[in-house]
Amino acid sequence: ENKVHQEKKERDLLENVYNVDLLILARYMQVLTNGFVRDWQNRILNIHHSFLPAFLGGKPYHRAHDRGVKLIGATAHYTTVDLDEGPIIEQDITRITHRDTVEDLIRKGRTLEKNVLVHAVKAHLEDRVIVYKNKCIVFGE
């Protein structure tokens, strides 16, 4: 009930005070209520590393390094009531090698996340994204 009350205050700020069109949940570590997500359908963007669902939980880059992955990536998607399973707007990857440290993976992953987020936000704001079922059609610039 406290979460619903907090979201009601947030809705008021977003809709009535700031007139927000798009929410970006980068580094937002809270789960939104189903009602909030439904009311903001296809207007909430999230990003995450591409290790989901292989390396769930904390320290995914450490576990990926320990496992010897060869690619890391990032995904930007619309938020749905199914956590991290929304329609994908943008993705990117980069190759890594045995020479890369965990810190290298984290740095490269964060760069990918930023770039993917920029492309996804730009496509959304330019109305180049159509959502069909759980897929996005993204038209070129």
- Cβ 61 vs Cβ 40: under 8 Å: no
pLDDT above 90: percentage of residues in the chain? 77
Residue 15 DSSP class: I
For residue range 87-128, list pLDDT tens digits in order. 999 999 999 999 999 999 999 999 999 999 999 999 999 999
Residue 34: phi and psi, rounded to 5, are -60, -40
With b for 16 or more beta-carbon neighbours within 10 A and e for fewer, the 86-122 pattern comes to bbbbbebeeebeeebeeeebbebbeebbeebbebbbe
Give the residue among 14, 57, 17, 10 at the shortest CA–CA distance from 33: 10
pLDDT at position 31? 87
- Cβ atoms < 10 Å from Cβ of 137: 11
- Return the pLDDT at 50: 78
Give the model's confidence band at 80: pLDDT under 50 very low, under 70 low, under 90 confident, else very high.
very high
Q: What confidence tier does 52 reach under pLDDT thresholds 50, 70, 90?
A: low
In this prediction, residue 25 carries a pLDDT of: 92
* Average pLDDT in the chain: 92
Identify the pLDDT of residue 117: 97
Catalytic annotation, residues: 84
Tell me how far CA of residue 105 lies from CA of 67, 75, 97, in angstroms. 13, 15, 10
